[in-house]
Structure 1
Amino acid sequence: MKTNSSFKYHTIDFIYILLGAWVSGFALRGFLVPNHFFDGGVTGISLLVHEIKHWNIALVIILANIPFILVGSRIMSKVFVIRSIVGVVLLGLFLAFFPYPEFFYDKLLISTFGGVFLGVGIGLGMRGGCALDGIEILAVYTLRRTSFSMSEVILGINVLIFLSAAHFIGFETALYAILTYYMVTKATEYVVNGLEEFTGVTIISGESEAIKSVLVNKLDKGITVYKGERGYLKDNFHEHNDCDIIYTVVTRLEVRRLKNEIKNIDPKAFVFTNTIKETVGGILKRHADH
């Protein structure tokens, strides 16, 4: 039974990787390459090399990504490394042999939709457990060995790419490359996290019992309760009392309704939220994910 389940998951992952490579190839061959556009990350480096040296884009994509993936083998699992190699090779094969249509529209449309499709492709690959762009692998590797954060490493590399594009190709093209990269980032985020990105909500109120009842019985949410103390104001610092601090997780589409329910019970309740990128376990009601 466990073998069948494992085979099912591996099959679904491979389908994600295959679709991710195909969609990424569509973005590159259909939009970015014919119009001499760029992106950030390793894909951006590959496009820049292709534009300057006129080397085969399929070969450049593979050769540019493999070193980053091999570096990642020191910190990532073997399964991730193998899947990433398979994904990048599939992307190269699609770029070399699949007859993608080419689009020549307004530059803004090319930049926008080329970025969206490339982001969708990279996101599908990530859902399948691989990296079709090795920039984040390098960022993780650097994070563990330097004081730089992942965002700083990625930003630094992309700044160099965009400056190089401005120098060799033109300032206007570099600006469109920044827009393309932004669209790639947002599309990838939506594919990986989904529209139901979760939000953690913390509630501190004197009406905690009523709020707990509404969250569980009306909104059908799981809650966690911390024991805390309220008070400690400037004018009466020594006056304080015990309170329940309520924590729950909702989708971002439910945040407004949750706040309205709390406001109806206690308009003075202190509520703050934080974005949650990933959740595991619990009793969250969400779409099935492999």
Structure 2
Amino acid sequence: MDRLIRLSIVFVASVVLAASLNLFLLPHEILTGGVSGIAMILGLMTPVNTGIWIIILNIPILILGWMKLGKVFIANSVFSVLVTSVALLYIPVMELTGDVLLSSVFGGVIAGIAIGLIVRFHSSTGGFDVVGLFLTMKKDIPLGGLVFAMNSTVVFISGFIFSWELAMYTMASIYITGLVVDRIHTRHVKLSLMVVTNKGEEVKKELLDNLYRGITVVDGEGAYSEAQLKVLYTVINRYELALVRPLIRNIDPNAFVSINETMEVMGNFRRDDPSNKTAHSKKNAA
């Protein structure tokens, strides 16, 4: 059921992404970034549809991602790319507004929402998204900003082929898309979690059973009550916070919990997707 919900969200988001291209960006020759942007250039310059070019250009990148990011992730990505490509074939290229700036803003926002949801639910739109996700596994870099930097090449290409005015609209659209993606895809954000509880063993066991994280346990004492307590400390990503809250609340509703955003994490911290169980084993979190 969980996988069906994920694929349903990815399906809807992929159709919305195609709609943002054909209804806002392509009519004004405003491009998206990366492989999709290159596909749009080829689609505008050749009789071959943009959707077909997206499939052709994504093949080598998806093969690389299969080896580095896991089979489930790439299978989901292939699904997203195929849905987007088919939707591009059936959604007409139609100008909803003659205002180029308005189209670039709305197209960028809608594309950002769609891409953010696709990535959040363990998939991608292929192309530079795959490369960006692989790099964010190594460094705590916002995905939207990283993809924006890589997509800048498309802006220069579009400037030489079409016009520099359209290139600037493209830059604005890509930048807006990156900002929106980073508001939705927040896995790079790390949180320090500290739990003070008199049910330390139960909380520790529940967290270890549900998180692929190491936990430091320290003996504590209440300054006023002089009660013997356990202090549990770990670092999680923002997605895992939604899982941690109910776990702690169910075991000890009176536990003192402190959550702070962490600027940087050094040492043995797993950055890959915890839902991708084929990419790691539980012993990595010991």
What TM-score do the two structures reach when normalised by structure 1?
A: 0.61
What is the deviation of 1:44? 1.3
Give the corresponding residue for 1:10.
Answer: 3
Contact 1:201 1:247 in 2 (8 A): yes
Q: Which has the larger radius of gyration?
A: 1
Give the corresponding residue for 2:184.
Answer: 191
Q: How does 1:1-290 map to 2 (within 5 A)?
A: 8-99=1-92, 102-139=95-132, 154=147, 157-193=150-186, 200=191, 274=262
| Residues in 1 aligned to 2:147 and 2:235: alpha-carbon distance in whole angstroms | 33
Stretches of structure 2 that go unaligned for 5 or more consecutive residues are 197-215, 220-232, 239-259, 265-270, 275-286
Tell me how many residue pairs correspond in the alignment.
220
What is the deviation of 1:141? 5.6
What is the deviation of 1:99? 4.8
Deviations 1:108-154 (A, max 9, x none): 1111110111111111211232111320323456799x9xx998985
Tell me: CA distance 1:157–1:103, structure 2 relative to 1, closer, same or farther (3 Å).
same
What is the deviation of 1:104? 2.5
What is the deviation of 1:275? 5.5
What is the deviation of 1:54? 4.3
| Residues in 2 aligned to 1:166 and 1:100: alpha-carbon distance in whole angstroms | 22
Give the corresponding residue for 1:230.
Answer: none
Tell me: CA distance 1:156–1:275, structure 2 relative to 1, closer, same or farther (3 Å).
closer
| Residues in 1 aligned to 2:150 and 2:189: alpha-carbon distance in whole angstroms | 30
Give the corresponding residue for 2:245.
Answer: none
Tell me: CA distance 1:143–1:275, structure 2 relative to 1, closer, same or farther (3 Å).
closer
What is the deviation of 1:72? 0.7
- The one-letter code matched in structure 2 to 1:172 is E
- The one-letter code matched in structure 1 to 2:64 is V
- The one-letter code matched in structure 2 to 1:90 is V
Give the corresponding residue for 1:259.
Answer: none
| Residues in 1 aligned to 2:148 and 2:15: alpha-carbon distance in whole angstroms | 27
What is the deviation of 1:192? 2.5
| Residues in 2 aligned to 1:101 and 1:159: alpha-carbon distance in whole angstroms | 26
| Residues in 1 aligned to 2:165 and 2:181: alpha-carbon distance in whole angstroms | 24
| Residues in 1 aligned to 2:261 and 2:85: alpha-carbon distance in whole angstroms | 42
Partner of 1:74, secondary structure, is: helix
| Residues in 1 aligned to 2:37 and 2:78: alpha-carbon distance in whole angstroms | 18
Contact 2:19 2:91 in 1 (8 A): no
Give the corresponding residue for 1:267.
Answer: none
- The one-letter code matched in structure 2 to 1:92 is S
Contact 1:20 1:125 in 2 (8 A): yes
Identity of aligned residues (%): 22
What is the deviation of 1:175? 0.9
| Residues in 1 aligned to 2:127 and 2:160: alpha-carbon distance in whole angstroms | 24
Partner of 1:33, secondary structure, is: helix
Partner of 1:193, secondary structure, is: coil
- The one-letter code matched in structure 2 to 1:105 is G
What is the deviation of 1:98? 3.5
What is the deviation of 1:160? 2.3
Partner of 2:124, secondary structure, is: coil
| Residues in 1 aligned to 2:6 and 2:63: alpha-carbon distance in whole angstroms | 21
Contact 2:23 2:92 in 1 (8 A): no
| Residues in 2 aligned to 1:111 and 1:88: alpha-carbon distance in whole angstroms | 22
The Cα RMSD (Å) is 4.3
Tell me: CA distance 1:191–1:177, structure 2 relative to 1, closer, same or farther (3 Å).
same
Tell me: CA distance 1:100–1:225, structure 2 relative to 1, closer, same or farther (3 Å).
farther
Contact 2:189 2:261 in 1 (8 A): no
Contact 1:13 1:127 in 2 (8 A): no
